[in-house]
């Protein structure tokens, strides 16, 4: 399981281009191995079957061949045994009249050197005549031989093999008859020794590796036709059957015994399995070669296929990658297969995206144009406000002053008060217009962030503000203002507005106290301006920062209601926050926080990503 997982992990790290050939190779290896093995085993089975048939055929042929030879020998011996001299010699009880002829006949029976002994026996199984050409006296009691090989009159039998000092002999016994009755035996011994021609003929017949065993049916003696050898382990009742056995030299062998007709012999053909399978074994390199060739073809095919698959995929990836760079790539993948369809879908998608993108860009341009037009209109509007509203206002103010200057003495107190009110209001309206313009212009201004020494700035602002407040004793404390990252001009406006408010609203107190302080942490610097002045009702706290919103009447404290709105707008531009706490009659505190890093810097350093 763990191994499997590891393999999968390993595979998933490879690209499709690498994975596909690997997979196909694996499949091919598996298929070829199975196919090769199956083929090998069926070939082996067939070879074994053929081998067994061949063994049967061979053993049959050898048996037949030997039987024919045996038949010939029997016929010759029988013919000799039927000679008048032989039968007469036995019948006349060794009459010398027949002796010479009989000997001559018996010598004739020595056809070659394998006929080692020819003897004539009487019914008592005593040798009565021995050929002159007899060279070997086989030390086997003839009575024993005749016992195991019963012979009828006028018939001839071949006996089993006897071992005499490592040489094998077999007897050919013909029954000599007189008037249909057995009168003796003609026994000749033949040496079992195959001629080189015969051996060559046999080995050609059998093929290499085959063993021929000839032996007695009772398995007492086995020979390879030349000398006695340990034979195959044939048990009784296994004649004509195919047996398998293990030999320490040849390994596994298949063998079949064939009864040789007219003899008590078994001819056995044994084939070592390795010889039978020789042809099959020689196929193994071919199967392997075939497998390797298939594998190579497979790998090449797999590479081609995987390239055919991965190349379009790479094209797609490349196209998708370059798309955000604004390049529209059309994928050209021929064919109507899955990849072709994917390419078509991809092309449709990209063209849609581009159309949409194009539309979007057009829309953005349109909207930008509209915005720019609106902005220009707004500019024109504020220009008009600043120029066209101020001009008549100046006229009102100016004429009122002129009236006062030129005709003041002719007016009573009420008349002068009214003229004063006209002047005051016109002046106030001028200031309103100025503040409003400053407020609207702030939106267009860009921030220029620098490190601002707030402590020093606060001192400067206070000195400036207190120039006009000589008669009042303000207790002003400035403690620990950290430097701010801010637009110097704008933050000056903030301090100016907040501190001037504090002075204004605490001006009616007997002992006005103003505290200005600050602190900092990792991300923010924070500041506060506190006074013990008029304060405000927290229920209206949300109205503090609105344009033209005031919590005090003009008679109580003069003002346009733009100052705090301007402050809030500046703090917002700095991505900071501002809030106020207060209590009516007890004073107010304004807190504001400024980020230490500008928002774009924070985005770049990743602080805001999460």
Partner 1 sequence: MNDNKVEILLVEDNPHDAELTIRALKKSNLANRLIHLSDGAEALDFLFARGMYADRNIGNRPKVILLDIKMPKVDGIEVLRQLKANDATRTIPVVIMTSSKEEQDIITSYDLGVNSYVVKPVDFEGFAKAVSELGFYWLITNQGID
Pick the closer one to partner 1 by CB: 386 or 549. Answer: 386
Pick the closer one to partner 1 by CB: 435 or 531. Answer: 435
Report d(CA 194, CA 205) in Å as an integer. Answer: 15
Residue 378 parent element (H or E): helix 338-384
Q: How far is the CB of 322 from partner 1 (least distance, A)?
A: 43
Pick the closer one to partner 1 by CB: 45 or 431. Answer: 431
Pick the closer one to partner 1 by CB: 64 or 404. Answer: 404
Task: Report yes or no: 14 and 22 within 8 Å, Cβ to Cβ.
Answer: yes
Pick the closer one to partner 1 by CB: 143 or 391. Answer: 391
Q: How far is the CB of 361 from partner 1 (least distance, A)?
A: 30
Q: How far is the CB of 380 from partner 1 (least distance, A)?
A: 10
Pick the closer one to partner 1 by CB: 369 or 398. Answer: 398
Q: How far is the CB of 422 from partner 1 (least distance, A)?
A: 11
Q: How far is the CB of 387 from partner 1 (least distance, A)?
A: 4
Q: Tokens at residue 88, please? A: 């007469």
- CB atoms near residue 532 (< 10 Å): 19
Q: How far is the CB of 330 from partner 1 (least distance, A)?
A: 48
- Could you tell me which of 125, 124, 88, 114 has the C-alpha nearest to residue 103? 88
Phi and psi at residue 212, in whole multiples of 5°? -110, 125
Q: How far is the CB of 381 from partner 1 (least distance, A)?
A: 12
Strands 587-595 and 577-583: antiparallel
Report d(CA 244, CA 234) in Å as an integer. Answer: 10
Q: How far is the CB of 432 from partner 1 (least distance, A)?
A: 10
- Could you tell me which of 363, 352, 359, 296 has the C-alpha nearest to residue 328? 352
Q: Which residue has the tokens 């790998």?
A: 299
Phi and psi at residue 13, in whole multiples of 5°? -80, -25
Task: Report yes or no: 58 and 270 within 8 Å, Cβ to Cβ.
Answer: no
Q: How far is the CB of 409 from partner 1 (least distance, A)?
A: 18
Helix (H, G, I), strand (E, B) or coil at 120: strand
Task: Report yes or no: 484 and 491 within 8 Å, Cβ to Cβ.
Answer: yes
- The one-character DSSP state at 118 is E
Residue by residue, DSSP assigns 41-97 as HHHHHHHHHHHHHHHHHHHHHHHHHHHHHHHHHHHHHHHHHTSHHHHHHHHTTS-HH
Pick the closer one to partner 1 by CB: 168 or 426. Answer: 426
Q: Tokens at residue 229, please? A: 């050898």
Pick the closer one to partner 1 by CB: 421 or 521. Answer: 421
Residues constituting the chain: 610
- Could you tell me which of 524, 515, 569 has the C-alpha nearest to residue 547? 569
Pick the closer one to partner 1 by CB: 428 or 552. Answer: 428
| Cα angle 420-421-423, degrees, rounded to a multiple of 5 | 65
Q: How far is the CB of 410 from partner 1 (least distance, A)?
A: 19
Which CA distances in Å does 513 have to 477, 482, 487, 567? 8, 21, 28, 22
Q: How far is the CB of 444 from partner 1 (least distance, A)?
A: 10
Pick the closer one to partner 1 by CB: 350 or 560. Answer: 560
Report d(CA 469, CA 509) in Å as an integer. Answer: 14
> In sequence order, what are the residues at sequence separation of 6 or more whose Cβ sits closer than 8 angstroms to the Cβ of residue 530?
502, 514, 515, 516, 517, 587, 588, 589, 590
Pick the closer one to partner 1 by CB: 329 or 429. Answer: 429
Pick the closer one to partner 1 by CB: 65 or 437. Answer: 437
Q: How far is the CB of 437 from partner 1 (least distance, A)?
A: 7
Pick the closer one to partner 1 by CB: 143 or 375. Answer: 375
- Chain positions contacting partner 1, by CB under 8 A: 383, 386-388, 390-395, 397-402, 423, 426-427, 429-431, 433, 437
Pick the closer one to partner 1 by CB: 26 or 489. Answer: 489
Pick the closer one to partner 1 by CB: 398 or 546. Answer: 398
Helix (H, G, I), strand (E, B) or coil at 173: strand
Q: How far is the CB of 424 from partner 1 (least distance, A)?
A: 9
Q: How far is the CB of 416 from partner 1 (least distance, A)?
A: 16
Phi and psi at residue 525, in whole multiples of 5°? -110, 140
Report d(CA 486, CA 490) in Å as an integer. Answer: 8
Helix (H, G, I), strand (E, B) or coil at 184: strand
Q: How far is the CB of 559 from partner 1 (least distance, A)?
A: 17
**Cα separation of the two ends of the chain:** 37
- Could you tell me which of 156, 152, 113, 120 has the C-alpha nearest to residue 135? 113
Report d(CA 523, CA 531) in Å as an integer. Answer: 27
> In sequence order, what are the residues at sequence separation of 6 or more whose Cβ sits closer than 8 angstroms to the Cβ of residue 212?
62, 202, 206, 224, 225, 267, 268, 269
């Amino acid at each position: 399981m763990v191994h499997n997982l590891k393999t999968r992990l390993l595979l998933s790290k490879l690209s499709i281009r690498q994975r596909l050939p690997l997979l196909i190779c694996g499949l091919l290896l598996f298929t070829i191995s199975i196919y090769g093995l199956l083929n090998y085993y069926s070939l082996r089975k067939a070879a074994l079957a053929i081998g067994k048939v061949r063994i049967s055929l061979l053993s049959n042929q050898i048996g037949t061949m030997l039987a024919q030879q045996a038949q010939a020998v029997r016929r010759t011996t029988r013919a000799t045994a039927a000679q008048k001299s032989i039968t007469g010699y036995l019948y006349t009880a060794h009459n010398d009249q027949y002796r010479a002829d009989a000997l001559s006949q018996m010598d004739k029976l020595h056809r070659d050197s394998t006929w080692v002994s020819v003897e004539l026996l009487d019914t008592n199984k005593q040798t009565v005549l021995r050929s002159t050409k007899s060279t070997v006296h086989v030390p086997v009691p003839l009575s024993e031989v005749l016992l195991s090989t019963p012979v009828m009159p006028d018939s001839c039998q071949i006996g089993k093999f006897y071992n005499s000092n490592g040489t094998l002999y077999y007897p050919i016994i013909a029954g000599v008859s007189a008037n249909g009755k057995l009168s003796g035996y003609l026994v000749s011994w033949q040496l079992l020794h195959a001629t080189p021609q015969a051996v060559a003929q046999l080995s050609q017949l059998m093929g290499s590796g085959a063993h021929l065993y000839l032996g007695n049916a009772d398995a007492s003696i086995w020979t390879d036709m030349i000398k006695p050898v340990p034979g195959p382990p044939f048990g009784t009742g296994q004649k004509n059957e195919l047996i398998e056995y293990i030999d320490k030299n040849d390994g596994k062998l298949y063998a079949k015994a064939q009864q040789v007709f007219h003899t008590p012999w078994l001819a056995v053909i044994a084939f070592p399995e390795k010889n039978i399978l020789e042809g099959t074994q020689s196929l193994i390199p071919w199967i392997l070669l075939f497998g390797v060739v298939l594998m190579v073809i497979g790998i090449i095919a797999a590479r081609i296929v995987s390239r055919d698959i991965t190349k379009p995929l790479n094209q797609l990836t490349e196209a998708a990658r370059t798309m955000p760079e604004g390049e529209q790539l059309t994928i050209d993948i021929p064919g109507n297969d899955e990849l072709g369809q994917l390419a078509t879908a991809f092309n449709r998608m990209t063209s849609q995206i581009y159309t949409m993108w194009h539309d979007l860009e057009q829309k953005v341009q349109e909207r930008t144009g509209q915005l720019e037009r609106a902005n220009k209109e707004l500019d024109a509007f504020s220009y008009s406000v600043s120029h066209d509203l101020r001009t008549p206002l100046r006229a009102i103010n100016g004429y009122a002053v002129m009236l006062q200057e030129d005709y003041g003495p002719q007016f009573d107190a009420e008349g002068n008060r009214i003229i004063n009110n006209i002047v005051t209001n016109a002046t106030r309206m001028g200031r309103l217009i100025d503040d409003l313009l400053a407020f609207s212009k702030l939106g267009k201004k860009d921030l220029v962030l620098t490190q601002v020494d707030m402590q020093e700035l606060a001192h400067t602002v206070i000195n400036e503000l207190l120039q006009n407040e000589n008669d009042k004793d303000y207790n002003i404390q400035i403690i620990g203002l950290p430097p701010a990252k801010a637009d110097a001009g704008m933050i000056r406006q903030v301090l100016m507005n907040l501190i001037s408010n504090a002075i204004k609203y605490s001006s009616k107190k007997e002992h006005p106290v103003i505290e200005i302080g600050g602190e900092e942490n990792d991300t923010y610097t924070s500041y506060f301006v506190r006074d013990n002045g008029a304060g405000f009702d927290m229920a209206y706290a949300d109205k503090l920062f609105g344009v033209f919103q005031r919590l005090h009447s003009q008679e109580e404290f003069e003002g346009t209601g733009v100052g705090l709105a301007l402050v809030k707008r500046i703090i917002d531009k700095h991505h900071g926050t501002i809030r106020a706490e207060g209590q009516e009659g007890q004073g107010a505190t304004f807190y504001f926080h400024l980020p230490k890093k500008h928002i774009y810097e924070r985005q770049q350093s990743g602080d805001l990503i999460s």
